[in-house]
């Protein structure tokens, strides 16, 4: 779509929905009220789709083979682009419909030095990050977006709410931990059951073929990332939809180099199933298997989307420079593992 184009304000990309029906008398709000069907009453497409992912685990087909719709679950604006921008661009190029659920507005994010630095810690930063997400989503080709806590991403019987960015501190380079001061309405303060119920409400509404989110470490340990991994896994299982976690090449170790598949050329049956050892690089049967994608063909698209997040980062060639000065390569090698 080009240079960080903003969507027409008359045609917002954020999906809204009518207020959900009231739960039946005697039923508590939460997972029990998201309309979950028993496993034996899943839609007809459900069992074949889950069987297809089981077939991938045995490396008989590519994970993305025949997938029509995918829901990405992220914690903050910019996570969708930094962690999965190249993967989203690849899915869109394949004709797969991509939806995005974002949990918070990233209110606690540090702002890069420059004209936007005065927004840090103000309500205006929330609006700016909402605007930045809209631009990045448009650049990546995301079909529709949702905010956690806002219908349809809100469990039946619960009033809409906004989950707040929990913040973080650096424990050591590359590993984050909880912030010293966490707001009462922060995502990590909310009961996991409530967060899971909200995610499940959207999964039930959309019925994507696949839900994708962080690994169990949240990528680099951010508490909000870990919470959304937990909620996305639990919600996907409750509704009966397949879930895959995103793996990063540097976490996989040197064995990953032999496992990256040429996704840009189109992964067919059996493509992308690499062998190796280490965190995420293994290609054994079952949950230990991973499919790797070389998505460097989408570098320009991801760069355009990254530039939309101007309050949080700058782009320097093929690297991201974060607000704190940390540099990291733009991610174009991504692994997926079905849990």
As a whole number of angstroms, the distance between CA 334 and CA 261 comes to 10
184 pLDDT more than 60 = yes
Give residue-wise pLDDT tens across range 123-142.
Answer: 999 999 999 999 999 999 99
Phi, psi for 171 (deg, rounded to 5) = -80, -45
In the block, tokens 């990063």 appear at 248
As a whole number of angstroms, the distance between CA 144 and CA 37 comes to 25
Residues in contact with 32: Cβ distance below 8 Å, sequence separation at least 6, in sequence order: none
As a whole number of angstroms, the distance between CA 249 and CA 247 comes to 7
Give residue-wise pLDDT tens across range 83-122.
Answer: 999 999 999 999 999 999 999 999 998 999 999 999 998 9
Give residue-wise pLDDT tens across range 24-75.
Answer: 344 334 444 444 433 333 333 455 556 555 555 555 568 898 999 999 999 9
Mean pLDDT, the chain, rounded, equals 79
Residue-level pLDDT at 330? 96
Residue-level pLDDT at 304? 98
Give residue-wise pLDDT tens across range 242-293.
Answer: 999 999 876 555 344 344 444 433 333 233 323 222 233 223 333 358 999 9
Superfamily of domain 44-246: LmbE-like (3.40.50.10320)
Whole-number CA gyration radius for the chain: 19
The domain ranges of the chain are: 44-246
Residue-level pLDDT at 94? 96
Cβ proximity of 202 and 238 under 8 Å: no
Using a cut of 0.85, tell me whether the model's pTM lies above it.
no
């Amino acid at each position: 779509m080009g240079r960080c184009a903003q969507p027409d304000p008359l045609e917002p990309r954020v999906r809204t929905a009518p207020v959900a029906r009231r739960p039946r008398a005697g039923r508590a709000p939460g997972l029990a009220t998201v309309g979950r069907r028993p496993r034996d009453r899943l839609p007809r497409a459900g069992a074949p789709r889950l069987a297809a992912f089981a077939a991938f685990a045995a490396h008989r087909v590519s994970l993305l083979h025949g997938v029509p719709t995918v829901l990405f679950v992220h914690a903050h604006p910019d996570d969708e682009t930094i962690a999965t921008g190249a993967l989203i661009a690849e899915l869109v190029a394949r004709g797969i419909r991509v939806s995005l659920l974002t949990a918070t507005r990233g209110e606690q994010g540090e702002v890069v030095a420059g004209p936007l630095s005065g927004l840090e810690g103000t309500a205006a930063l929330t609006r700016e990050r909402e605007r930045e997400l809209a631009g990045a989503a448009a650049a990546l080709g995301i079909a529709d977006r949702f905010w956690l806590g806002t219908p349809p991403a809100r469990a039946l019987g619960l009033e809409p709410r906004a989950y707040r960015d929990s913040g973080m501190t650096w424990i050591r380079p590359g590993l984050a931990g909880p912030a010293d001061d966490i707001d009462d309405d922060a995502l990590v303060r909310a009961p996991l059951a409530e967060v899971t119920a909200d995610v499940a409400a959207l999964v039930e509404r959309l019925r994507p073929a696949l839900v994708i989110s962080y690994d169990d470490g949240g990528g680099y340990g951010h508490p909000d990332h870990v919470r959304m991994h937990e909620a996305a896994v639990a919600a996907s299982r409750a509704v009966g939809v397949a879930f895959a976690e995103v793996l990063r090449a540097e976490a996989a170790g040197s064995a990953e180099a032999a496992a990256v598949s040429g996704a840009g050329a189109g992964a067919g049956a059996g493509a992308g199933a690499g062998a190796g050892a280490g965190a995420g690089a293994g290609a054994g049967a079952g949950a230990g298997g991973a499919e790797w994608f070389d998505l460097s063909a989408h570098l320009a698209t991801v760069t355009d989307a990254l530039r939309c997040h101007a309050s949080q980062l700058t782009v320097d060639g093929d690297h991201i420079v974060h607000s704190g000065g940390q540099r990291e390569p733009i991610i174009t090698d991504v692994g997926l593992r079905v849990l």
